[in-house]
Amino acid sequence: MPGAAAAAGQGPLEEKQEQGLKVAFIHDWLVSYRGGEKVLNALFELFPQAKLYTLFYERGSVPGPVERAQVYSSFLDRPWARKRHRMFLPLFPLAISRFSLKGYELVISSSHCAAKAAPVPQGVPHLCYIHAPLRYMWTRFDDYFGKGRASLPLRIAAKTLRPFLQRWDKKSARRVTHFVANSHYIAKQVELLYGQKASVVYPPVELERFLPLPVENSGQGGYFLCFGALAPYKRLDLAIEAFGRLGLPLWVAGSGQMEAAFRKNLPGNIRWLGQVPEDEVPALLHAAKALVFPGEEDFGLTPIEVQACGRPVIALGRGGALETITPKTGLFFAEPTAASLERAVLAFAELEKRFLPTEAKENAMRFSKENFLQGMRAQVQTCLGDAP
């Protein structure tokens, strides 16, 4: 009885949860544990019984609630295909369309590629938490398919398919009832590309892993640090070139499709760590002199994790970093060039004199899981209320 629920101060979410709301999650793929997967794990705290759909699924790759969920993968999902999943991009529209989502009362997609295109039945509210529009075909096309980034046949194929995939991406956006972006930077892209408004709820950071570290021992390692997935748009090449000339100690931690290219002919002052075990990450960040963040990111969890450890960030002054780093907790370089980064590293000495670890930790607290869950509850309420 809607009237009784309203009288008791309940909204659409509380009312439907009492009746056992049937929820489906859609995530692009589950083959590694990065920012998008951490968001998905947090969403399971809102709907622990939700079913999960994804294009590719490597069991054991994502710890936590995802590992315990009932997961349905697409016809593309084969063991040999999971590490090469981006090669199947032209087939994503077909694969995502084959999912059957009948019987659900709410669909929540976690999307930077194809998840938002899921065939949600008419009348069922669809909330999309968007990490980025189809990044391979829009803002990141040159990073993945530009000269020197891909073979000539692959570049030709990507250029040929790009108009079709862009049209499909725009069309699929119409299936979404309500967009929630991970940053104001992405919300602007949603409006520009799809002509739709997006609310903003920042992703959750596992602050409990970092905040307890003592500030008095921060930065004792004396090294600058690059940390994260080694994707083309992360621009680790800028850091390697800049620090090669500066001769200052730079440690690189992470793995990804650009690892082999980045590891070639490293200068002696750059130490390659590779993939660091999760339980060793807090100490690594805590001991760094500063994080070097040279790419233009949609949001970026690592700068917040570093600030939670009481350490500053040197970042490209574009994208989501402008929303997570303050003048007191880091500094920006203006252009995506090694020379611009060099100048910022040299200027870092002035920031270091006035930097207070406690201010960095305080800034990081804005991105708690509690704030994320509170924000998403409100967005689900809105989505359910707006549904026809």
The one-character DSSP state at 104 is -
The backbone torsions φ and ψ at residue 147, rounded to the nearest 5 degrees and listed phi first, read: -60, 130
pTM as predicted: 0.85
Which residue is it, tokens 């921060």?
A: 218
- Paired residues of 30 in beta bridges: 57
Label residue 387 by pLDDT band (50, 70, 90): low
Label residue 179 by pLDDT band (50, 70, 90): very high
Whether the predicted pLDDT of 321 surpasses 90: yes
**3-class SS of residue 8:** coil
pLDDT attached to residue 284:
95
Max CA separation in the chain (angstroms):
71
pLDDT attached to residue 35:
87
d(CA 180, CA 109): 10
Q: How distant, in Å, are the alpha carbons of 120, 205, 243, 335 from that of 108?
A: 10, 20, 42, 36
Mean pLDDT within 96-107:
96
> In terms of Cα–Cα distance, which of 84, 140, 137, 132 is closest to 110?
132
Specify the length of the chain in residues.
Answer: 388
- Paired residues of 108 in beta bridges: 25, 127
Contact criterion met (CB below 8 Å) for 173 and 116: yes
pLDDT attached to residue 14:
62
